[in-house]
Amino acid sequence: MTKAELVEAVAKQTKLTKKAAESAVGGLIKAVTSSLKKGQPVTLVGFGTFKVLARKARNGRNPQTGKPMKIAATKVPKFTAGKNLKQLVSGKAAKK
């Protein structure tokens, strides 16, 4: 699903205009991005958690030449699906 398709789906589900839905989706993305930049996780109960993980520096190999190279430490975003989302995707009904 692309961002445009997501905006259309949100507009249809919430009965908002496409412009309002685009603003809402854009606002959500900005809020999640801003929180992750600050190192704060974002938890949406029943859906999942966005957080930032730190990867240590490590040694690797250049795939073209095979020569060893150093890979710098970095921070990467990670999403962990919540229990309800996992159950819905797997086809198992969520227990109430």
Q: What is the pLDDT of residue 63?
A: 93
Conformational region of residue 17, where left means phi above 0, alpha means psi within -120 to 50, and beta covers everything else: beta
pTM: predicted TM-score of the whole model, two decimal places: 0.77
Q: What percent of the chain has pLDDT over 70?
A: 96
Which amino acid is present at 57? A
What's the pLDDT tens digit per position in 26-51? Answer: 999 999 999 999 999 999 998 999 99
For 57, the 3-state DSSP assignment is coil
Contact 89, 81 (CB under 8 A): yes
Task: Give the model's confidence band at 92: pLDDT under 50 very low, under 70 low, under 90 confident, else very high.
Answer: confident
Reported in sequence order, the residue ranges of 1-96 that DSSP labels E, i.e. its strands, are 42-44, 48-55, 58-61, 68-71, 74-81
Q: What average pLDDT does the chain have?
A: 93
